[in-house]
Amino acid sequence: MKDFAALFRAIDQSTRTTSKVAALADYFRTAPEEDRVWTIALFSGRRPKRAVTTTRLREWAAERANLPLWLFEDSYSVVGDLAETIALVLPPPESESDLGLSYWISYLQDIANADEDTRKARVLAAWDQLDTTERLLFNKLMTGGFRIGVSQKLMTRALAQATGKPEPELAHRLMGDWTPASTDWHTLIEAADSAADASRPYPFYLAHALDDPETLGTPGDWLAEWKWDGIRAQLIHREGAHFIWSRGEELMTDRFPELAMLRDVLPDGTVIDGELVAWDADTGAPQPFAALQKRIGRKSVPKALLRDAPVLLLAYDLLEHGGQDIRDLPFAERHAQLDATLAALPDDAPLRPSPLIAFDTWTDLAAIRAEARANRAEGLMLKRADGPYLSGRKRGGWWKWKLEPLTVDGVMIYAQAGHGRRANLFTDFTFAVWDGPDLVPFTKAYSGLSDSEFARITAWVNRNTMQRFGPVRQVTPHHVFEIAFEGIQQSPRHKSGVALRFPRMARWREDKSATQANTLDDLLELLRLYG
C-alpha cells in the first residue's frame, strides 16, 4: 500500500503530464504483478463495490477520534470529502504495515461479507496500520468512490513505456469485461493471445469540438454525417455471438434484445461503431433522447417499452471485417465496406448506416447543420476521408460541429455548497421561471461559472438567505442566470412539467432583474418546438 500511496502522491501533487506518466511507468516496472493489475483496474474505472455505508464510517471515525458526531460532521462540511475527513481526524496509527494494494482490496471484499461488529473491528484495525495517505486511499476504496486525475490514455502511455508494447495494442487489451479476479498481469498485458477474447471491443475514437470548419481547409478532404443524439456503442459479432458495448465500457447486450437477430444476418468477425437510438418507424427518424433514456437503466425491458421505443443502431464505421482489424484503412474505404455489408441485411434489421451528407462548400454545410434539431441530431460530425480509426481523443481527424445550445434565463432561488475544493463555496443552484406572479423551479445547475464568480455569489448567498433546509439555502429571488442546455422533454417529476438535458450556467445576467427572467410559457414553447 505504501508504493500505491507514493504513486498517488506523485500524481496528485503534479500538474505535468510527463511527471504523472513517468511515475506510473516506474510503478508498473517495480510493483508486484497483482498490485499492477489492480492499479490498472482502478485507473480504468473498475472499482470494488462499497464495503461499508458512509453512515457507519462517520460514526466509527468520530468514535475512534473521540469527537462528537456533530463536530465530525462540521469538519466534513469544511473538508468536503468523507474519506479525507476520516483520514485527517483519526489519531496516529499504532503500528505499520507493508502489505500491498491487492491485500487491502481482498481485505475489503472480506469485510463486505462480514457482520457489522466484525466489519467495525476490521475497519478500526486497518486504520491503526495505515498512515494518512494510505487511510485516505483505503477509505476511498471502501466507499467505492476511488477516482484519480489520470485518464486511461495516460495510463496506457505509461504502460507502453514500462513494457515496450505499442499503445494501440495496450489500449485494445485493456478493453472488455475483465476484472482482477478474472485475469492476471501476464494474460492481460503479455500473453500473445490476449486479444482473442471474442467479446472485447476496440477503444473508441473520440472527436474534438469544432468552432469554424474553414480552419479544416478543403471541403473535399472531409466527409460529413449527423451527430446523432443517442448512446455511442460498438456491436461485436464474433464466434456466433453478439455483444453491445457502450463508450463507457459497459456491456449492455441484454438491455437491447431486438439486436439479437443481427447475429443471424451479420458476417462473423464484424465490429461496428455506431449510435443506439430509439427509432420512430413512422417518421423514419430517431425519437427524442428521452424515449431511449427510459431503457438505459433497465436490465430487462418490458414488452410495452420494446414496442414504444424500439432501438436501432445507426452505424458510423466498420472496425473489423471478416475477423480482420481494418482500423488503419482510410475512413472513406471503411465506410464503403460498411455500406456493402449492411446492404445485404434484411429490411427489418435494426441496423442501418448513418448516411453521409453531400456538400460542396462550408457555407452549404452550415445551412445543413442548421436543420440538425429537425432531424433529431445534435449537429454534424466531420471526418477526414483518408483518416484511420484511432484510439481516444486525437486531434485532427474527427470533429464534432454541434449546434449552439438552447438557452433560457432563470432566477436563482436555492443554493447548496459544493464538494472537494469547492466545499466552502455555494456552487449548486436551483433556478425558476415565472408562472404568472409565481416562480416555478425548472432545473438545477452547478457548472459554468469561474471560481471568482462562485466566490461572489457565495458571499451574496450568505447575506441573503431567507430559510435553511439542511444544506440547502433559500435565497432572495434576485439574480438571473442564462441556462444553456442540449434538449428539453416532458417530465411529470418536475413542478414545471419539463426537464432539461445537460443544463449549465452560460453566464450571470447581472444586466437583468428578476422580473426579466423567462416564463413557463417560454419553456413550453421550446418543448413544443424541440421536445
Residue 382 in this model has a pLDDT that exceeds 90: yes
| Nearest one of 146, 171, 289, 160 to 230, comparing CA atoms | 289
- In the block, cell 472527436 appears at 207
Predicted confidence at residue 531, as pLDDT, reads: 72
The percent of residues in the chain predicted with pLDDT above 90, rounded, is 63
Q: How far apart are CA 366 and CA 276, in angstroms?
A: 25
Predicted confidence at residue 73, as pLDDT, reads: 87
pLDDT digit string (tens) for 261-314? 999 999 999 999 999 999 988 888 898 888 888 887 776 788 888 888 899 999
Predicted confidence at residue 145, as pLDDT, reads: 78
pLDDT bracket for residue 371 (50, 70, 90) = very high
- In the block, cell 485507473 appears at 43
Residue 170: count of CB within 10 angstroms of its CB: 23
Domain 406-530 has CATH 2.70.40.10: no
pLDDT digit string (tens) for 115-124? 999 999 999 9
Phi-psi region at 176: left, alpha or beta (left = phi > 0; alpha = psi -120 to 50): left
Q: If 0-12 CB within 10 Å is exposed, 13-18 middle and 19+ buried, where does residue 457 land?
A: buried
Predicted confidence at residue 296, as pLDDT, reads: 79
Q: How far apart are CA 423 and CA 139, in angstroms?
A: 19
Residue with more model confidence, 340 or 76: 340
Q: How far apart are CA 479 and CA 509, in angstroms?
A: 7
Sign of the Cα pseudo-torsion (250, 251, 257, 263, in order): positive
Q: How far apart are CA 181 and CA 121, in angstroms?
A: 26
The percent of residues in the chain predicted with pLDDT above 70, rounded, is 99
Phi-psi region at 183: left, alpha or beta (left = phi > 0; alpha = psi -120 to 50): beta
Q: Under 8 Å CB-to-CB from 438, ≥6 apart: which residues? A: none
Q: If 0-12 CB within 10 Å is exposed, 13-18 middle and 19+ buried, where does residue 443 land?
A: buried
Q: How far apart are CA 318 and CA 171, in angstroms?
A: 18
Average pLDDT of every residue of the chain: 90
Predicted confidence at residue 528, as pLDDT, reads: 87
pLDDT bracket for residue 193 (50, 70, 90) = low
Residue 104: count of CB within 10 angstroms of its CB: 23
Cut 0.75: pTM above it: no
Predicted confidence at residue 420, as pLDDT, reads: 64
* Most confident among 7-16, 85-94, 151-160 (mean pLDDT): 85-94
Listed range (237-241, 381-385, 430-434, 526-530) with the worst mean pLDDT:
526-530
pLDDT bracket for residue 196 (50, 70, 90) = low
In the chain, the amino acid numbered 321 is: H
Candidate CATH numbers 3.30.470.30, 3.40.50.720, 3.40.50.300, 1.10.3720.10; the one for domain 205-402? 3.30.470.30
Residue with more model confidence, 499 or 145: 499
Predicted confidence at residue 277, as pLDDT, reads: 95
pLDDT digit string (tens) for 160-184? 999 998 888 888 888 877 889 888 9
pLDDT digit string (tens) for 31-73? 999 999 999 998 888 888 888 898 999 999 999 999 999 999 8
pLDDT digit string (tens) for 439-477? 999 999 999 999 899 999 999 999 999 999 888 999 999
Predicted confidence at residue 421, as pLDDT, reads: 67
- The CATH homologous superfamily for domain 2-143 is DNA ligase, ATP-dependent, N-terminal domain (1.10.3260.10)
Distances (CA, A) of 180 to 4, 7, 33, 240: 16, 19, 11, 27
Beta bridge partners of 483: 408, 505
Predicted confidence at residue 130, as pLDDT, reads: 93
Domain boundaries of the chain, sorted by first residue: 2-143, 205-402, 406-530
Compute the average pLDDT of residues 20-40: 93
Residue 508 in this model has a pLDDT that exceeds 60: yes
